[in-house]
Structure 1
Amino acid sequence: MATMNVGELVAVDMHTHAEVSADGHTSLSPELFGASEKYFKEHPRPAIPEMAAYYRERKMAAVVFTVDAEHATGHPRISNEEIAEHCAEHADVLIPFGSVDPWKGRAGVREARRLVEKYGVRGFKFHPSLQGMSPGDRAAYPLYEAIEELGVPALFHTGQTGIGAGVPGGGGIRLKYSNPMLVDDVAVDFPELRIILAHPSFPWQDEALAVATHKPYVYIDLSGWSPKYFPPQLVRYANTLLKDKVLFGSDYPVITPDRWLSDFDKLEIKPEVRPRILKDNAVRLLGLGAEERTTRS
């Protein structure tokens, strides 16, 4: 089985989606998928082995996940185990994250532990708006406690979402749950939990910057937007106070890393900060290469 050579990587994409399983099951219902494609424009839905080939060609690694929101949407997720097993087959470039619906209670806690301990999952993705739960809801706390104990990060969608856009009532998706200030309670109550706020958090960019600046283990990924549209305060903080806590993410396949990196090249980011955003911060956060260093020592 191939292993990751971190030294050869040019970047680590912290935010990519598995949109279709091996048997053709999609991550969203047809209604929500249709709305998403109108919002983001139609895009391919690569299988995980195709994603591996895509990132291998570019000498990048990628974090891969789906979203478990079955309680709120009624649509079964793509299997976490399938994603982890495919990523293990392409461990030179793919890093599996899991997703457990916080409504699952104790069953979800057991699943999270199994995914890390048996399947090598390196983190968990939450989408509060799609899952229909505020990040600070106490019902999710046993799950956060387990993730904190397991020592892996939790990634929260923040800001507006294209999922449900244009559908009457937004497909039942409530934007308010993805205000990053709601994640501040999680950062307070689980002080050792590594938290990633996904995306430029429109319309709450300042809230995201405040939380990430105030809480030492809160990071921001830059996925879902072309860098040419980044708010100026996000660029300013990425260059200064948050230079060690901002992470490259594309949102592939909705946005390709090729397009993202092309626009990022034109952004006024300090030369010494660029490698931190593109790779170094993610390597440190995820402990990439730690196994290799341990073996060599």
Structure 2
Amino acid sequence: MDIEQLVAIDTHVHAEVSCCQPPDLFAKEFDDAADKYFGTVLKQGRRPTIPETIEHYRERKIGFVMFTVDCETNIGRRRIPNEEIAEFAQKNSDIMIAFASIDPHKGKFGAREARKLIEEYGVRGFKFHPTMQAFFANDRLAYPIYEVIAEHKLPAVFHSGHSGMGSGMHGGGGLRLKYSEPIHLDDVAVDFPDMKIIIAHPSWPWQEQALSIALHKPNVYIDLSGWSPKYFSPELIRYANTLLKRKMLFASDFPLIRPDRWLEDFQTVGFKPEVHPLILKDNAVELLGLAPQA
């Protein structure tokens, strides 16, 4: 990435529309419910393609990390190919980094895919969504994939807390919030100390768990995606201003929340001026290993 030219790095951006395969409209009701929950602004009646997202971020001089969510086992929807995202990142490396997502239920076969994506496609991290993928983060079924990630000393981001996905649907769309309680990540942080773990979102209603784990485990960070900062708890802001100021990451959850809105609200809710550059860019540069080598 061209670090000097970027005003910020958004560490949580979703790939929503594939350019190499037709849309899989199976379980589209999840998207519709999420759009209603978040008040998503849709242009042309759909979510943006990967090239449109790249253009959106390049216009704003914001770098970003992009990934899909592979929940094929639990939801039954075909994922956007990890390879597609990685290839766009290779062609737009000044602005974009690719993470991959592999359904943990794929076990050792998933571990094989993870290794290939790292070694042949340059993937720089991984995304897990325990609620959508129906697994506890410390379930041993996921450990073969974690072992590959840890071997390469790459980060992994885990959804935590309440889920906009499934909200308002009959029976919550069959999704269970229990899977995304942050405390399960404490085991992962112990078992894989060489894997940097990013707890995604303010982890309501378990915010204190996430803060405690990030304070206790050197390899655990928190991304601030999925909520407008004006809804952050005073405790989250207090820790971001003090003990965890080097553990907090700017993240939007685009396209559900757009960076313009997030950044505007961020300026007004009590973050100290001296921590702004840490949260907006510097912490991500360190976490992602983007600093130029001396």
Is the CA contact 2:40–2:255 (under 8 Å) kept in the aligned structure 1? no
Query: TM-score, normalized by length of structure 2?
Result: 0.96
Task: Name the amino acid aligned to 2:194.
Answer: E
**Candidates 15, 20, 26, aligned match of 1:18:** 15
Q: Name the Cα RMSD after superposition.
A: 1.3
Partner of 1:102: 104
Distance 1:17 1:233 in 2: 27
Is the CA contact 2:149–2:195 (under 8 Å) kept in the aligned structure 1? yes
**Candidates 165, 184, 187, aligned match of 1:185:** 187
**Candidates 222, 229, 232, aligned match of 1:230:** 232
Deviation readout 1:178-202 (Å, 9 max, x if unpaired): 0111111100111111000000001
Task: Name the amino acid aligned to 1:37.
Answer: D
Partner of 1:242: 244
How far apart are residue 86 of structure 1 and its match?
A: 1.3
The alignment of Structure 1 onto Structure 2 pairs a total of residues equal to 289
Matches within 5 A, 1:53-92: 53-92=55-94
**Candidates 114, 121, 124, aligned match of 2:123:** 121
Distance 1:82 1:137 in 2: 29
Distance 1:154 1:28 in 2: 27
Distance 1:29 1:81 in 2: 23
Distance 1:26 1:258 in 2: 29
Is the CA contact 2:225–2:251 (under 8 Å) kept in the aligned structure 1? yes
Task: Name the amino acid aligned to 2:29.
Answer: E
Task: Name the amino acid aligned to 1:91.
Answer: S
Task: Name the amino acid aligned to 2:272.
Answer: K
Partner of 1:50: 52
How far apart are residue 263 of structure 1 and its match?
A: 0.3
Distance 1:128 1:28 in 2: 20
Distance 2:25 2:202 in 1: 23
What is the DSSP-based 3-state SS (H/G/I as helix, E as strand, rest coil) of the residue aligned with 1:43? Answer: coil
Partner of 2:146: 144
What is the DSSP-based 3-state SS (H/G/I as helix, E as strand, rest coil) of the residue aligned with 2:97? Answer: strand
How far apart are residue 46 of structure 1 and its match?
A: 1.0
Is the CA contact 2:40–2:257 (under 8 Å) kept in the aligned structure 1? no
Unaligned runs of 5+ in 2: none
Q: Taking structure 1 as reference, are residues 86 and 26 closer, same or farther at Cα in structure 2, changes over 3 Å only?
A: farther
Distance 2:268 2:169 in 1: 35
What is the DSSP-based 3-state SS (H/G/I as helix, E as strand, rest coil) of the residue aligned with 2:58? Answer: helix
Task: Name the amino acid aligned to 1:224.
Answer: G
What is the DSSP-based 3-state SS (H/G/I as helix, E as strand, rest coil) of the residue aligned with 2:12? Answer: strand
Q: Taking structure 1 as reference, are residues 53 and 197 closer, same or farther at Cα in structure 2, changes over 3 Å only?
A: same
Q: Is 1:37 paired with 2:39?
A: no
What is the DSSP-based 3-state SS (H/G/I as helix, E as strand, rest coil) of the residue aligned with 1:99? Answer: coil
Task: Name the amino acid aligned to 1:267.
Answer: V
Task: Name the amino acid aligned to 1:202.
Answer: W
Deviation readout 1:16-71 (Å, 9 max, x if unpaired): 10011014425973121111111112433111111111111111101000100111
Q: Is 1:7 paired with 2:4?
A: yes
Q: Which runs of 4+ in 1 moved over 6 A?
A: none
**Candidates 257, 260, 266, aligned match of 2:259:** 257
Distance 1:254 1:105 in 2: 30
Q: Taking structure 1 as reference, are residues 27 and 199 closer, same or farther at Cα in structure 2, changes over 3 Å only?
A: farther
**Candidates 217, 221, 224, aligned match of 2:223:** 221
Distance 1:120 1:281 in 2: 21
Task: Name the amino acid aligned to 2:160.
Answer: T
Query: TM-score, normalized by length of structure 1?
Result: 0.95
